[in-house]
């Protein structure tokens, strides 16, 4: 299944009735948006709906730009960050992102923002600053993200604070790049709150430039205060200038209306979705006097495209028999294929006996990935049987990122399910303390603010399961009509089973991930104020990523698919 050039004709590849996809609406300015791609440049090798790779994406962009020229409409291609952590292509290399960064660089994005996954690790932040940002010139936008330059010791923006540019058919754009108020950034970086950034002289000065629209590229959820603060700051100076926010981070499809001339779009995750937005009315000459257009509607459409070659061809080709693959697209696909080979990403380690889903079923259900992790992976691959005390291992459910499908389990899947190299830390505590830790953690503040509860949708047996999105325009934004996939929220932390038959004072190793040590230590103090516990690395031979590899080798390697 690794031959990307052939995969489009695989059985099960999407073959909808051509009338199912209605043509895109074009406006004065049109936007193609990616976010939270997390290195999924190979596309989804196990899911036909999302099987386009970055070579296909490049070919799609070529045809879309041709179409824009033909229509004499402006087209912007934008990315909202989180390029690292999530796929073997980016994470299995000796240096994280060493093969993916040059491939991203081949896509001619007009504007990009930085994500939190470019900032967890000092080296990744440094490489983003040195090897990635410069290649984009002024298009890599970090209005509120800085790095301490290791050569000069000066703290400088990782990319550009803002960029004013003119599109081919005349639209003058002022662009910014904002990251949400991320608290876990590496110590060589600084993230400034966006509500402070917008008060700074450089930002206020930029608002005096004469432009036709504002583009906020953000690794920011479009409904969060960090996004609305920027919209409000622009609106305070410009009562009717069109504002577009292209956000991300929550991994959802979403669209919001801030006012009748300001809109936000969020385009999912993992190269499942290309967001499309068209804005008409930007070129309205009467609006050059801003007060003329206060309250005047812009005509805006949004669409969430499933990222597969059928979708790409359907929307980009002028004629169905026109050749789709461009030379550049094919060469990107070949490069991806070569990197996958170099990194042995398709090497099969074992065979998964069934599908395990991250969020389709309650975590107590046998089809839940979190259930598998809590009850099988942690006891098998993490608990250290040679320790004098039983172990209870707690992980954050956010450390698990994607479904695990029945059939061949590859090296790539270890990164897809959990790309992180978080260490297991432990302290030896009485059972009465250990037994209260999970509940205490789940009562602790969320690491990620909760998504809005999703409404329940009717299922429809004639449609393939996929995204069914409700946003500020209601339903109808999804390009492909799908039956809904159930979404069941899970606790923030899950644990291996507690040992049974112990007295309150019996000792237990309580084990957690380095990612949330800052939460565990105060809880230990609260649960047992009289004692100071010493913590250390529980096992040096296993981390969040390798635990699944070890589990599969131990339990699934003898099964055949």
Can you give the binding site for ligand L45E5XJ5, defined by CB under 6 A? 36, 82, 116-117, 120, 249, 251, 396, 398-399, 420, 422, 447-448, 515
User: In the bound complex, what is the minimum distance in angstroms from residue 117's beta carbon to Zn ion?
Assistant: 6
Q: In what order do the strands lie in the sheet with 145-148?
A: 155-157, 145-148, 189-191
Q: Which does 205 bind (CB under 5 to 8 A by kind): ligand L45E5XJ5, Zn ion, none?
A: none
User: In the bound complex, what is the minimum distance in angstroms from residue 23's beta carbon to Zn ion?
Assistant: 30
**102 or 398: whose CB is closer to ligand L45E5XJ5?**
398
* 82 forms part of the interface with Zn ion (CB under 5 A): yes
**207 or 225: whose CB is closer to Zn ion?**
225
**171 or 396: whose CB is closer to ligand L45E5XJ5?**
396
**82 or 479: whose CB is closer to ligand L45E5XJ5?**
82
Contact present, 103 and 40 (Cβ < 8 Å): no
Q: How many CB atoms lie within 10 A of CB 428?
A: 18
**63 or 251: whose CB is closer to ligand L45E5XJ5?**
251
Q: Which does 60 bind (CB under 5 to 8 A by kind): ligand L45E5XJ5, Zn ion, none?
A: none
Over the window 193 to 232, marking each residue x when it contacts Zn ion by CB under 5 A and - when it does not, the resulting string is ----------------------------------------
Q: Which does 471 bind (CB under 5 to 8 A by kind): ligand L45E5XJ5, Zn ion, none?
A: none
Q: Which does 333 bind (CB under 5 to 8 A by kind): ligand L45E5XJ5, Zn ion, none?
A: none
Q: Which two tokens stand for residue 375?
A: 């009850």
Instruction: Give which of 247, 275, 244 is closest to 261, Cα–Cα.
Output: 244
Contact present, 116 and 248 (Cβ < 8 Å): no
Three state DSSP letters for 205-255:
HHCCCCCCEEEEEEECCCCCHHHHHHHHHHHHHCCCCCEEEEECCCCCEEE
**188 or 428: whose CB is closer to ligand L45E5XJ5?**
188
* 116 forms part of the interface with Zn ion (CB under 5 A): yes
Contact present, 211 and 237 (Cβ < 8 Å): no
Residues 434-463 that bind Zn ion (CB under 5 A): none
User: In the bound complex, what is the minimum distance in angstroms from residue 299's beta carbon to ligand L45E5XJ5?
Assistant: 32
**59 or 422: whose CB is closer to ligand L45E5XJ5?**
422
| Residue-by-residue DSSP string for 435-496 | HHHHHHHHTSPPSSPPPPPPPP----TTSPEE----BTTBS--BSS--EEPP-----SEEEP
Residue 381 DSSP symbol: I
Task: Give the C-alpha separation, 527 to 520, whole Å.
Answer: 10
Alpha-carbon Rg for the chain in angstroms = 24
End-to-end CA, the chain: 14
Q: Which two tokens stand for residue 307?
A: 């990222």
Contact present, 484 and 366 (Cβ < 8 Å): no
Q: How many CB atoms lie within 10 A of CB 249?
A: 27
Q: Which does 515 bind (CB under 5 to 8 A by kind): ligand L45E5XJ5, Zn ion, none?
A: ligand L45E5XJ5
Residues 242-271 that bind Zn ion (CB under 5 A): 249
Q: How many CB atoms lie within 10 A of CB 466?
A: 20
* 273 forms part of the interface with Zn ion (CB under 5 A): no
Among the listed residues 28, 36, 412, 423, the single contact to Zn ion using CB under 5 A: 36
**171 or 267: whose CB is closer to ligand L45E5XJ5?**
267
User: In the bound complex, what is the minimum distance in angstroms from residue 421's beta carbon to ligand L45E5XJ5?
Assistant: 7
Q: Which residue matches tokens 């809904």?
A: 484
- Select the residue whose beta carbon is closest to ligand L45E5XJ5 and give its number: 398
User: In the bound complex, what is the minimum distance in angstroms from residue 178's beta carbon to ligand L45E5XJ5?
Assistant: 14
Residue 405 CA, chain-centre distance (Å), reads 20
User: In the bound complex, what is the minimum distance in angstroms from residue 36's beta carbon to ligand L45E5XJ5?
Assistant: 6
Task: Give the C-alpha separation, 248 to 464, whole Å.
Answer: 25
> Stretches 28-36, 303-311, 416-424, 508-516: which one binds Zn ion (CB under 5 A)?
28-36
**114 or 383: whose CB is closer to Zn ion?**
114
User: In the bound complex, what is the minimum distance in angstroms from residue 144's beta carbon to Zn ion?
Assistant: 15
Q: Which two tokens stand for residue 448?
A: 């990620």
**40 or 140: whose CB is closer to ligand L45E5XJ5?**
40
Q: Which residues bind Zn ion (CB under 5 A)?
A: 36, 82, 115-116, 249
């Amino acid at each position: 299944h690794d031959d990307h050039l052939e995969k489009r004709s695989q059985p099960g590849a999407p073959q909808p009735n051509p009338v199912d996809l209605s043509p895109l609406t074009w406006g004065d300015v049109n936007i193609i948006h990616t976010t939270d791609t997390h290195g999924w440049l190979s596309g989804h090798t196990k899911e036909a709906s999302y099987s386009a790779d970055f070579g296909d994406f490049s070919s799609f962009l070529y045809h879309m730009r041709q179409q824009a020229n033909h229509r004499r409409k402006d087209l912007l291609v934008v990315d909202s960050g989180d390029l690292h952590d999530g796929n073997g292509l980016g994470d299995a290399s000796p240096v994280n992102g060493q093969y993916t960064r040059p491939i991203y660089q081949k896509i001619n994005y007009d504007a990009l923002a930085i994500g939190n996954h470019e900032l967890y690790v000092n080296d990744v932040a440094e490489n983003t600053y040195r090897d990635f940002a410069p290649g984009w010139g002024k298009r890599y936008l970090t209005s509120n993200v800085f790095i301490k330059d290791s050569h000069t010791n000066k703290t400088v923006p990782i990319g550009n604070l803002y960029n004013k540019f003119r599109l081919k058919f005349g639209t003058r754009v002022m662009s910014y790049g904002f990251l949400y108020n991320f608290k876990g950034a590496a110590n060589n970086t600084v993230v400034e709150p966006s509500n402070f950034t917008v008060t700074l002289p450089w930002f206020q000065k930029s608002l005096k430039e004469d432009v036709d629209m504002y583009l906020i590229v953000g690794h920011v959820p479009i409904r969060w205060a960090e996004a609305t603060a920027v919209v409000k700051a622009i609106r305070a100076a410009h009562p009717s200038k069109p504002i577009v926010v292209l956000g991300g981070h929550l991994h959802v499809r979403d669209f919001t209306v801030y006012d009748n001339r300001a809109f936000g779009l969020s385009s999912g995750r993992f190269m499942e979705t290309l967001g499309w937005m068209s804005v008409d009315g930007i070129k309205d000459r009467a609006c050059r006097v801003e007060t003329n257009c206060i309250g005047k509607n812009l005509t805006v459409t949004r669409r969430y495209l499933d990222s597969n070659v059928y979708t790409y061809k359907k929307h980009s080709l002028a004629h169905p028999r026109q050749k789709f693959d461009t030379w550049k697209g094919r060469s990107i696909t070949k490069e991806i294929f070569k990197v996958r080979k170099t990194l042995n990403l398709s090497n099969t380690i074992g065979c998964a006996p069934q599908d395990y889903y991250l969020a389709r079923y309650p975590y107590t259900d046998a089809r839940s990935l979190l259930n598998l992790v809590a009850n099988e992976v942690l006891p098998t691959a993490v608990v250290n049987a040679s320790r004098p005390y039983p172990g209870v291992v707690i992980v954050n459910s956010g450390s698990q990122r994607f479904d695990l499908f029945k059939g061949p389990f590859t090296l790539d899947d270890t990164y897809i399910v959990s790309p992180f190299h978080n260490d297991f830390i432990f302290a030896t505590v009485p059972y009465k303390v250990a037994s209260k830790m999970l509940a205490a953690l789940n009562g602790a503040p969320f690491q990620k603010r909760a998504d809005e509860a999703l409404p329940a949708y009717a299922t429809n047996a004639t449609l393939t399961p996929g995204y069914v999105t409700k946003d500020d325009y209601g339903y109808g934004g999804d390009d492909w009509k799908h039956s809904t996939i159930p979404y069941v929220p899970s606790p923030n932390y899950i644990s291996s089973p507690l040992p049974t038959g112990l007295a309150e004072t019996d000792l237990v190793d309580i084990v957690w991930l380095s990612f949330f040590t800052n939460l565990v230590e105060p809880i230990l103090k609260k649960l047992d104020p009289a004692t100071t516990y010493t913590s250390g690395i529980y096992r040096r031979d296993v981390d969040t990523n390798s635990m699944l590899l070890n589990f599969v080798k131990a339990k699934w390697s003898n099964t055949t698919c």
